[in-house]
């Protein structure tokens, strides 16, 4: 495994995580009624990490 493939893997993981956070921020900006209408999971307010979307098990 070369260092370039390691950097590529890290960059891919970072991009995916960043996209996930952007999606969460967009959903959190929607009114609660609209989030319920589109069927998004419950949003949990965590005092340390801020609001996050609760994933179904």
Structure tokens at 34: 């609209």
Which backbone phi and psi does 48 adopt, to 5 degrees? -90, -40
Q: What is the pLDDT of residues 16-57, one digit of tens each?
A: 999 988 988 888 888 888 888 888 766 666 656 666 666 544
Is 13 or 44 the better-scoring residue by pLDDT?
Answer: 13
pLDDT of residue 7: 94
Question: Cα angle at 36 between 25 and 41, to 5 degrees?
Answer: 60
Reported pTM: 0.58
pLDDT of residue 57: 45
Q: What is the CA radius of gyration of the chain?
A: 15
């Amino acid at each position: 495994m070369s260092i370039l493939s390691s950097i590529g893997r890290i960059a891919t993981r970072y991009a995916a995580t960043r996209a996930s956070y952007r999606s969460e921020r967009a959903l959190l900006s929607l009114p609660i009624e609209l989030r319920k209408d589109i069927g998004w999971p419950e949003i949990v307010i965590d005092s340390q990490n801020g609001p996050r979307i609760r994933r179904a098990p």
